[in-house]
Structure 1
């Protein structure tokens, strides 16, 4: 009998985080582990068709085979575009630097 692999499924909202340790059989995929974890029942807003997933901050597909101690992460959509946010901060900084000191 093959040993089980220890993995963790992670998901976070602005108000709570979900860390679910799981023992899976060798050959288990990311998608199978997510389904087995119960995260989809706990957070019905998760849509695996549109939301990216990854292992240790590297995007992966649902059919990626897991290794021992993998941390499976489900990513939420960004609230704001990082490039737009940076442009706004830079414009604000430029505007305040352009004003003469009084």
Structure 2
């Protein structure tokens, strides 16, 4: 296989995860045809966030640039995609708005 074939067989993507006080974006070169779920596994975020554990990252909801993926294990990435790992909300947005409206900040 020629070098140009190898280069074309891979794409560059990012995998991002954020908590309130820290975030990490991992740049990866992955084989063409890699799914969003596979890219998260390749990013090995559990090393950076050991308190979350590998099970969390294996099952967390995923999105691409803010668009949630219905089937992340079947979503094939394209060059430049940024896979976002979503965490559960700590506060219900409706309750937060209600508390602000009542002056409870």
Q: TM-score, normalised by structure 2?
A: 0.77
> Which ranges of structure 1 fall in alignment gaps of 5 or more residues?
94-102
Is 1:10 aligned with 2:16? yes
| 1:43 aligned residue (26, 38, 49) | 49
Cα offset, 1:14, TM superposition: 2.1
Q: Which has the larger radius of gyration?
A: 1
> Which ranges of structure 2 fall in alignment gaps of 5 or more residues?
none
| 2:80 aligned residue (50, 56, 69) | 69
Secondary structure of residue in 2 paired with 1:5: strand
* Distance (whole Å) between structure 2 residues aligned to residue 41 and residue 24 of structure 1: 19
Report runs of 4+ in structure 1 exceeding 4 Å deviation. none
Cα offset, 1:41, TM superposition: 3.0
Cα offset, 1:17, TM superposition: 1.1
RMSD: 1.7
* Distance (whole Å) between structure 2 residues aligned to residue 30 and residue 52 of structure 1: 10
Q: TM-score, normalised by structure 1?
A: 0.79
1:84 aligns with 95
